[in-house]
Amino acid sequence: MSAVFSRLRAIALAVLAGLTVASCGYNAIPTLEETAKAQWAEVENQYQRRSDLIPNLVATVQGYAKQEKDVLTAVTEARAKATSIHVDAADLTDPEKVKQMQDAQNALSGALGRLLAVSENYPELKSNQNFLALQAQLEGTENRISVARKDYIAAVQAYNIELRTFPGVLWASTFFRANKPMAEFVATPGSETPPKVKF
């Protein structure tokens, strides 16, 4: 009887220890880290979606505005640079890499803005169905980028706070020593609202 009681007691203690660990925040750091990584993947997904739209946009504008070669070249070069810089989940703790990617994306946004401004000079272009469809897709993508960046910022903030506050700081200094704060995305002024896309 004593062996059965000892065994039940050991099981009860193991269950109690498991519940204690689960309720004290041990899982918070890995959960928040994975959430932030998933949000970053969504930011990258939306940047890729925008990048995929650009060749069609450039081709459509080029058909109507061949003399705007400098602007078309600037968009193509900015797209090439933006797509060449990749920040994966392991790089999210390196603020310099995140900044490089953001700078390239901001340069692409600026080049696209100049391209869209040039289109105002071509009424035939502004009434082209392909151009109108691309405009709608680009506007939707810019909105999605804005939402994805906002969600990433919130996820990183929650993760970084967990690493620095109680009880997360205890777990971070023992079991999760390798976890470092993630680089915070620093939005450029005015990026909280998507650009106005007018054709």
Does the pLDDT of residue 194 top 70, yes or no? no
Let me know: does 54 contact 79? Beta carbons within 8 Å: yes
Q: Is 183 within a domain? A: no
Determine the pLDDT at residue 199.
43
Instruction: Give how many domains the chain has, as a whole number.
Output: 1
CATH number, domain at 72?
1.20.1440.20
114 located within any domain: yes
d(CA 60, CA 173): 55
Nearest to 185 by CA among 102, 61, 121, 128: 102
- Is residue 13 assigned to a domain? no
19 φ, ψ (degrees, to nearest 5): -65, -40
Average pLDDT over residues 126-131: 86
The reply to whether 198 falls in a domain is no
How far, in Å, CA of 146 to CA of 42, rounded? 11
Residue 18, C-beta contacts closer than 8 angstroms, at least 6 positions apart: none
Residue 1 lies in a domain: no
**Residues 182-186: what's their mean pLDDT?**
83
Instruction: Judge whether residue 168 has pLDDT over 70.
Output: yes
In a domain, 133, yes or no: yes
The identity of residue 19, as a single letter, is L
Residue 7 lies in a domain: no
In a domain, 137, yes or no: yes
Domain that holds residue 76: 28-174
- The yes-or-no verdict on residue 184 having pLDDT over 70 is yes
